[in-house]
Amino acid sequence: MVNKIAFIGAGSMAEAILAGIVAKEVLPAKQISVTNRQNQDRLNVLVNQYGVFASTNKEEVVSGADVVILSMKPKDVEAAIATVKPYIKEDQLVISVLAGVSTDFLSEQLSSSVPVIRTMPNTSATIGQSATAIAAGKFATDDHVAKAAELLTAIGTTTVVEEKDLHTITGLSGSGPAYFYYMVEAMETAAVNAGIDEKIAKELALQTISGAAQMLKQTGENPSELRKKITSPGGTTQAAIETLDQFKFQEAIEACITNAAKRSEEMGAAFKISK
């Protein structure tokens, strides 16, 4: 049972998560507290929109919280932890959404054995549709993982993974929504360039991606089976897929995920433990 959640960082990811928690009535909005570096206007927006408590006073925000969610950019993590560390106790649970930053580094910065869970949500959290991966740090027990998972179901699905896999998973599902947006952008542009009205191109492309996602979920069939059902021999889809193959579609996606994972590793390498 969670009684109070504190967000350190009040940007888009914090908003997506707290919006989900408020919408699903996981706990009353007043029991969610938020802080940021110093932007009072931004805090006022969150207070007015969601009814949460917000303050730039770190002690007020963190004290008594069962769960503290680190939701600043990786570059700000050291400064942010330094300001909240005096108020973080070992009976609290720290959940990080920071890309690349290891739980060992966070534990070292917190200089205590407070349990730390590292997660990788995505921006579909805004509508309760995140695919969130969760990994336990060395001081986190199965109960802590279960508590984090229960909380994060407010923003979508949760999958427990090993921390070593989080770089690749960031490339898969953390950044993943962007690949589909990019695909839709490309499809719309291609249709418009071929003379289709922009509004019509948008409407058809949007329902196509949405319908395809629902087909994958509702039929439970493999993407390759679904693809084969559309591909009549010698027909239009075969011509289209052959074109994607000529442009090395599979290799492009492999390189896309590998490079995102590599970037996550590089980002994490800036936050190495000292021993």
Check: CB of residue 112 under 8 Å from CB of residue 138: no
Beta-carbon-side half-sphere exposure of residue 8 (alpha carbons within 13 Å): 30
Residue 174 touching ligand A1CAB (CB under 6 A): yes
Considering only residues 10, 93, 110, 166, which one is a binding residue for ligand NAI as defined by CB under 6 A?
10
Helices (H), the chain: 12-23, 40-50, 58-62, 77-84, 103-110, 142-152, 166-169, 176-193, 198-219, 223-230, 236-246, 249-269
User: Can you give the C-alpha Rg of the chain in angstroms?
Assistant: 21
20, 115, 121, 156: which one binds ligand NAI (CB under 6 A) = 121
99 binds ligand A1CAB (CB under 6 A): yes
Among 106-114, 117-125, 151-159, 248-256, which window interacts with ligand NAI (CB under 6 A)?
117-125
Residue that is written with structure tokens 């009814």 in the block: 51
Q: Mask 167-206, x = binds ligand NAI (CB under 6 A)?
A: -------x--------------------------------
Q: Which does 98 bind (CB under 5 to 8 A by kind): ligand A1CAB, ligand NAI, none?
A: ligand NAI
| Shortest reach from residue 71's CB to ligand NAI, in Å | 5
Q: Does residue 17 contact residue 121 with C-beta atoms inside 8 Å? A: yes
146 is in an annotated binding site: no
Q: What six digits make up the tokens of 156?
A: 């979508």
> Does 96 carry a binding-site annotation?
no
Query: What residues line the site for ligand A1CAB (CB under 6 A)?
Result: 99, 170, 174-175
